[in-house]
Structure formats: C-alpha cells, structure tokens
Amino acid sequence: MSNVVDEALLVYVESGANSNKFYRLRLHADGSVHKLWGRVRDGAGLTGQTQVEQGGRSRFDKIFADKTKKGYTRVQVADTTGTNSAAATQTQLRDTAAASLAGGSTDKVVTTLVDRLVAANKHNLMASTGGMISVDTSGQARTALGVITPTAVADARVLLARIAREPEGPGRAPLTEQYLRLVPHAIPVSEGRGWAAGWLTRSTSLEQQQELLDALESSASYADAARRAAVAAETGDTSVDEDFFRYRVHRLEEGTDEYEMVVGRFHTTKQSVHRDVSTYAPKYVYRLEDRRHGAEVDAARARVRNVQKLWHGTGAANVLSILQKGLYVPPTRGTSIHIAGRMFGDGVYLSRSASKSLRYSAGLWGGGRSASTFMFLTETAMGYEYRPKGNIGYGYRRPLADENGKAFNSTNALPELVSGLRNHEAIVEDPMQVSLSWLVEF
C-alpha cells in the first residue's frame, strides 16, 4: 500500500438525532482515497464500513467539503508529517525520555519509570473516551489519527466550564455537542435522543473530563518532543535528551536515612479518615534533581523562607508533564474555568496530609481509581501566610496584603479555622516557591 499523504478525521455529533458518528479520509500517494465511517463505539476505536475510491486530491477535497457541509467537524490533531513512522517515533521518544530521566543510570527501576507512568494512564483514557483516545508507548495521548492540538484542548476547557455552569437540561446540549467535536467520546446508542443534555452528569463527571484534558495537554508537549526526537535521530543531534526532562530521577535505597525520612513522613501524616487509600504503601522513593531551575527555586526559598514539607497529589499523566516542564498553574480568572478542588483560587495546592493528597493521585476525588499511583513530597516556601477563617465559598480570593500592607506569600487553610473544610490546604501562587524534592511511587 502506498504512503498516506493526507488524512482527516471528522465527527458529527447531534444528540437530538442520537448521532455520534465519525468519518475518516486518507489520501494515498497512488491517488486512492480510503474512507472509513461509522458510529463512535465504546471500546472499539474506529471501526465501521470501508470503501476505496480513485480521484486523488480533488476527490479527497470533494468528499471533505461535502461532509463539512453536512455538519461534520474536523478533529484538530497535530501535524506529524516529516517525521519517522509512528512506531519509530514512539520508540525514539520513550528511549529519549528514559535516558533523560535516568541521567545515565542503568537502574532498571528508574529506566522503566516512564513505562509505568504511561501504563497508569492508558486504561483511564481508553475507558473514559470509549477507545477514541488511547496512550501510545511513548506516553502520548492519541486519537486514531494523532495527538489533539493544544488549541483544541484550550477550546475544550472553555466549553467544559460553560457546560458545568449551565443547569442540567436542554441548555447543555449544544455546548456538549461542541465539546465532543473537539474531544471525541463514545456514546452508546441506548442513550437515545437528547443524551447531550445530561451527559456531563450521568455518563462522566467534571473531574474526569478535567483530568482527560490535563492528559491531552501533556500529550501535546510530548508530540512536540516526539518530532524533535525523530529529527534528532535522523541528524545525529545529541542535544535533545539533555533538555527533554527538567528533572532527573535518582532512586533511594531502602533503609537509607533519606528513604526512611520520606516513608516515615508518609505514615505519620496520613489520616485514618481516608480509608479508601489505607492499603497504599510506598514502593519506591526517588530524589528529584531540578536541572533547569534549581538555582531559581533555591533563591526563592531563601528569600521567602518558612519552608515546609508538603505533599502534592496529581494524576499519572500530569506526573510526566511535571517531570518534563515543572509545575504549572492553569488560570481560572479570565477563562471562567473551575478546577476541581481549587476552593481557594489560583495556585499550586499542597497539603500536610499524605492521604488527602494521595486521593488525588489515585483518582479517587473524581470517582475513579488509577492502576498505579505517584505523589510528590515538596519543600515549599510558605513565607508570610494568610490563614482564612469562617465560611469560604468557591470564587474566594485571598487578600494580597495584611492591614499594614505586608504582602502575603501563601494561603494556609486550617480545618479548625474554615467552616466545612475537612483537610488541610496550602496554596502558593508562584511555582518557584515549590521545590519538588521527592517522588513516591505506590
């Protein structure tokens, strides 16, 4: 079969007609146009009817135009032309990532860490999208045609926030349909007409969709790295693995003072109330070395002071992104995005409670459960703390300074001071105040 020179994945979502269809076009170098179409089915990926036509570019463009006139929308995927084959690119990226993380170490536990992070995320993505989005061996979240673009993810975040603000009912339907054109999901035929009105509440959850978008955003970064890695392999450029990951990982030997300190802190700060993670125990502990911004983080800690060891829990997909680029605070202001758990506004959220943070890592706050679990222990410069009191609702913003004009550096929310708060929350707005010092694998 000749090479594919162009391809397009289109979707048609109309809940009033109980439609959730895809149409894939591929133009081959020999001028043949390969068509595949059907309903997006749970767990099946893209399966349906096929047909091959001749006619080259003009026929490809004609079919594409006809489908878009009927309401089909093209799924935005990153361009991967000009790179090696998909399998070669995945292998190159995986090997590049492992070498960058391990920093030359031959420790199998460290060199296979990327594989375990990928495996921890794959099942959740497959299940949540009905096979429309999976994870390849390199850690990239993919549709059948490629990685969804950062622009599509950003647009999907805005739509998701609008859906969440809209009461369940007919008002949600058009927004949900727009969302599913950007991020395809399987919808069973049995849902019947009008399913979009209650999809976010009945078939999934806001938290699950936010985690999915986090994974897709991370994969966009990986897509870029894959292209760079493929080019580097072809040109012999050795600089790629030097800047691929921000952090290097060093496994701590069981029984060493540092290992025992981290594990001991986990056991002394977990809470019995979090019974759903009561059986979790550290398997490996890694010290993290910040190769890009270590000096800046150290300077921020020295300037801000009041350094505390706090836990940061996040999903496996985010761990890969964090190790690559560092912590990032997605904005809520100006975008109307409500992030689950962000009761106290924008910032990096941490906690003294190991089990509270572990619930985020295990995917339990959103109602799911991850196959493998990872959590960070940080050394965070809290500086001058603001301690809220009384009733705090979503949309809360801490004051910038006290009554004397002294600026606050963080929020330290204590359950005994805030009504309805069950767990300790620490929030810093500047990620440079947070040193990711250790990664724990459970």
For residue 162 the two structure tokens come to: 């609008």
How many other C-beta atoms lie within 10 A of the C-beta of residue 170? 12
For residue 394 the two structure tokens come to: 């979503």
The per-residue pLDDT for 351 is 97
Fold of 247-441: Phosphoenolpyruvate Carboxykinase; domain 3 (3.90.228)
Alpha carbons 388 and 352: distance in angstroms, whole number: 17
Alpha carbons 200 and 208: distance in angstroms, whole number: 9
By DSSP bridging, strand 425-428 and strand 348-350 are: antiparallel
Alpha carbons 64 and 70: distance in angstroms, whole number: 10
The per-residue pLDDT for 389 is 93
The per-residue pLDDT for 334 is 35
Helices (H), 188-334: 199-202, 206-235, 240-243, 257-269, 294-304, 316-325
Low-confidence ranges of the chain (pLDDT < 70): 1-2, 42-45, 78-90, 92-93, 120-146, 219-227, 229-230, 233, 238-243, 330-342, 364-371, 393-395
Q: Collect all residues with Cβ–Cβ distance below 8 Å to 359 and sequence separation of at least 6.
A: 274, 276, 277, 313, 365
- What does the angle CA 428 – CA 432 – CA 438 come to, to the nearest 5 degrees? 90
DSSP letter assigned to residue 272:
T
The per-residue pLDDT for 367 is 45
CB crowding 81-95: b at 16 or more within 10 Å, else e: eebbebeebbbbbbb
Alpha carbons 204 and 132: distance in angstroms, whole number: 15
φ, ψ for residue 390, nearest 5 deg: 80, -150
For residue 238 the two structure tokens come to: 């050795």
By DSSP bridging, strand 73-74 and strand 4-14 are: antiparallel
* Per-domain residue ranges of the chain: 4-74, 247-441
DSSP letter assigned to residue 406:
P
Q: Collect all residues with Cβ–Cβ distance below 8 Å to 202 and sequence separation of at least 6.
A: none
The per-residue pLDDT for 186 is 83
Alpha carbons 279 and 271: distance in angstroms, whole number: 12
Q: What is the pTM of this model?
A: 0.74
